[in-house]
Every structure is written in C-alpha cells, then in structure tokens.
Amino acid sequence: MSAYAPAGPAVIVDPYSSGALYAPAFREAGVPSVALVTAPAPPDVYAASYRPEDFSEVIVASDGLSTAIARLRALRPRCVLAGCESGVELADLVAPQVVPEVANAPETASARRHKGDMARAVAQAGLPIIEQICTDDPDEVEAWIERSGLRGRDLVIKPPKSASTDGVTRVARGEGWHDVFTSMLGQRNRLGLLNDRLVVQEYCEGTEYVVDTASHAGVHSVSDICRYHKVDNGGHMAVYESMSWMSPLFPAYADLVGYAFGVLDAVGMRFGAAHIELMLTQRGPRLIEIGARPHGGGHPHFCRVATGESQLDRVVRRFVSDEPMPASYQLRQHVRVLFLMARRAGRVRNASVLDEVKNLPSHHFSRIAIRDGDRLAITKDLFGSLDLGFVVLAHPELARVDADAQRMRELEQQVVLVPEASPRRS
C-alpha cells in the first residue's frame, strides 16, 4: 500500500446509478462501504438503483453536514467517492475535510460539476473548446451571438448542472433562441436543481465519443472509449440511439485520450472515476462535458463484457492495493447498447412484438419496460430512453452485432402507438 493506507471503509456519496456498484466491488475486495447521501431519499430518476442494504452505515448529509463530517472522520475511511452526478458536489466538499490526501483539487471543484466552469477551466489550460457562454442574461447572449459570428447558426442551450441530456435543446439557425432561453431559465431540472443560469453554445458537428477513466494520485488510465450515436427526435436534440465500444486501435484513439487527460488535469481530477464526453470535429476533439463520477446506467456491467473490467474495478483495486492501473484496455468482443425510443406519442397496443429481441444471436441483456396500454410521450432525453428500456448486444463478430441491431430497430418500428391527447409518461 501507499503511505496513505487507512484500513477504514470506502465512502460512496449518493451511491445511485452505476455508483451502486461500488459497494459490491469493495465488498469483494474485503472492504465495507458507507453511504453518504445528500438527502434521505434519492432523486426519483435514481431511486430504483439505490441499495442501502449494501452499506454498513448510511449517513444523511441534510441531517447536519458538520455531524456527518465528524462521523466520517471517526471512521477513518480510505476514500470518499462520488457515486453519481448528484453526489459530485458533496463529495468534493467532504473529501478535502475527511481524506485530504486522496481528494480531488478543491480549488477547481466547481469545474467538475458546472458546465460553464468546466469549459472555462479547460480553455484556461490551453485546450480548444466549443464556443459558448454561461449566463442568466439574454442581453449577454445576444451580444455574444453577434460577437462570435453565430448569427443564423444552430445553437445549443442547456442547463449547467443537469444530467443525461436533460434539457439539452438545439435551436435551428438560432431562430427563437430567446424564447427557449427564457422558458428554461428558473425551471428545475430532473435532478431537482434550479436552472439559475444557462449555457448557450455553437452547435458542433462531428462524431461523439465518451472516454471513461480511472485516476489515482493524478495518474490517469483509460478503461474504455465508446462512440455515441444520437439523433434528433422531433424537436428534441441529443436523444441516444446507440453506444458502441471502440477498439483502442481505432485511428482517433490517441487524440481523444490525450485531450481527455488534459481535461482531467484542467479540472483537478486526481482520484476516482470520470466520464468525459467529447465531440471529434474536423478541427480535433472538443469537450462536451465531464462527469466526475462513473459512467452511469450500469455501464460498468457491460464494460466488463466488452473489455474484461471497468473504470470502477480499477478505482477499487487501486484503493485496496498498490497494483498499478493499466494505461489502456483490450476489446474482447463487440458490445453495443441500443436505447429504445418513442418517435411519437401514443398508447401502446402490441408490445409483444419486442419479445423477439431475446432470440437475437448476439443478445446479451435487455430491459424492456414497454407494456400494452402504456401511454408514451416522445422521447426527449436519456432519462426518457431508460424509462422505456435498452438492449445490449455482444458478439465476437461485428457483422453479427450490426445485423441484430438492424433487426431490433425493425421490431421497434412495429410497435403500434395509438395517438392520444395527453401522454403521461416521459
């Protein structure tokens, strides 16, 4: 072990989504886990993933932060790690006071959560970014559009502290941006946070990737790279269609990893898992955003199928031993996640057509939550996609995955949605 080697538990802050997988992984390594939760109950979008029984103790920060910190200090934990997006800020607040030797840089904490601040930190580190502004003043946006030469160009408007593409809106040719901006400002996103400011940026074209990493003492390791395919769905931008694991031998690997590691350094990411979304443009990689927590949606499960391990496994292993993390990864088989999507609203009439999905040769896992009689709204973000479900395909042959993905979409298109006036489900 390193010089800092307390024998206490691992503390997981808001252990929801993929963060719920930390406790079983630490337990397998012989280490108990303690949950530090922001509030007594998780946000609704994360409730299904919470397993309090996996933890030796649950500490509620809203009952008194100073009391929580005193209790954590008494436990002498080996680490304090963010489980999901809602826990990033609390983890960054608590870790320097409880485990300063293994905390991320406190002076750049806001850059690990706030999209405007993270872009600013990355630009100050000398990395190119997407042209953008973060403000609550539409007059500032108007002046920025003119100054940046973006008049008549597509724009993107999004909350600075949302997650899972919640609220991400594309404004074609910039027409009506003012109405979109003012309608989103002051609203609460699906994490319950107030949109007190908004990010407005140029619409950037290219191929979107995510670089998942594990860091320890400022040394970074790439555990996987996935390519996203997103589509416009009605008026909603950035709706996930699929996610595919990439071989580390693909041409853009070095450029993406070099830029991602620069982002990690810029925002002060020293310990733990991170999730860096990048757009590979003709001018090179550009930051979309970084999540200072594991890739959500149960991603570590499926990463193990693709590569043999995950970023979460590397983080856990490094906190219980001196075994160095590998710099990269190997792709053992082709894995693709297909996200279900409602392209129109209506009541489901024949959900059973999707039963065939489990018979696809490359079918690995599926969770399909569509039932006859369900009222569906048009899918507008990743939360909406996950409400409907997803299918994971895995096979040594890429052609098999491609063929099965096409068949799955054919089945999805056969689902009949009878139009109704007021869909209740999103």
Q: Of 185-189, 283-287, 347-351, 358-362, give the lowest mean pLDDT range.
A: 185-189
Whole-angstrom Cα Rg for the chain: 21
Question: Is residue 170 pLDDT above 70, yes or no?
Answer: yes
C-alpha separations of 305 from 187, 223, 301, 362 in Å: 39, 13, 7, 12
Identify which of 135-139, 145-149, 358-362 has the greatest average pLDDT. 358-362
Instruction: Using alpha carbons, select from 105, 102, 104, 54 the residue that is nearest to residue 78.
Output: 102
**Of the candidates 240, 251, 423, 272, which has an alpha carbon nearest to the alpha carbon of residue 346?**
423
Paired tokens of 50? 């919470």
Average pLDDT of the segment spanning 102-117 = 94
Q: Give the percent of the chain with pLDDT over 70.
A: 94
- CATH code reported for the domain at 333-426: 3.90.1170.30
Residue-wise pLDDT for 297-347, tens only, equals 899 999 999 999 999 999 999 999 999 999 999 999 999 999 998 888 899
* pLDDT value, residue 262: 98
Alpha helices in 99-245 (DSSP H): 115-124, 138-147, 177-184
Euclidean distance between CA atoms 296 and 226, whole angstroms: 13
Cα atoms in the Cβ-side hemisphere of radius 13 Å centred on 409: 11
Mean pLDDT of 283-309: 95
What's residue 236's pLDDT? 57
Which value, to the nearest 10 degrees, does the dihedral of the CA atoms of residues 101, 102, 106, 108 take?
Answer: 130
DSSP string, 9-74: -EEEES--GGGGGHHHHHHHTT--EEEEESSSS--GGGGGG--GGGSSEEEEGGG-HHHHHHHHHH
> What is the per-residue pLDDT for 2?
47
CA–CA separation, 171 and 169 (whole Å): 6
Mean residue pLDDT of the chain comes to 91
What per-residue confidence (pLDDT) applies to 54?
98
- Sheet order of strands, 284-291 included: 284-291, 272-281, 207-216, 219-233, 236-245, 334-339, 389-395, 363-368
Can you give the residue ranges of every domain in the chain?
A: 10-103, 131-202, 333-426
Residues sharing a CB contact under 8 Å with residue 172, sequence separation 6 or more, in sequence order: 154
pTM to 2 decimals?
0.88
> What's the pLDDT tens digit per position in 5-28?
667 999 999 999 999 999 999 999
Task: Compute the Cα dihedral for 257, 261, 267, 273 and give only its sign.
Answer: positive
- Rounded to whole angstroms, the Cα distance separating 46 from 233 reads 24
Mean pLDDT highest for which of 169-173, 314-318, 411-415?
314-318
Exposed, middle or buried: residue 248 (CB in 10 Å: 0-12, 13-18, 19+)?
middle
Is the pLDDT at 234 greater than 80? The verdict is no
* Least confident piece of the model among 46-50, 100-104, 184-188: 184-188
Higher pLDDT, 232 or 130: 130
Q: Is the pLDDT of residue 235 over 60?
A: no
pLDDT at 164: 56
> Which tokens hold the place of 20?
């719920």
Q: 172 pLDDT exceeds 90?
A: no
Tens-place pLDDT, residues 187-200: 877 667 778 889 88
Most confidently modeled range among 101-105, 164-168, 387-391 = 101-105
Of the listed ranges 52-66, 133-147, 388-402, the one predicted with least confidence: 133-147
Q: Is the pLDDT of residue 123 over 60?
A: yes
Class of domain 131-202: alpha beta
Q: How many CA atoms lie within 13 A of 218 on its CB side?
A: 6
pLDDT band at 379 (very low <50, low <70, confident <90, very high): confident
CA distance 208 to 230: 8
The superfamily in CATH containing domain 10-103 is NAD(P)-binding Rossmann-like Domain (3.40.50.720)
> What pLDDT, on a 0 to 100 scale, did the predictor assign at position 423?
47
pLDDT at residue 67 in the model: 97
Query: What is the mean pLDDT of the segment spanning 282-290?
Result: 95
Residue that is written with structure tokens 């200090």 in the block = 73
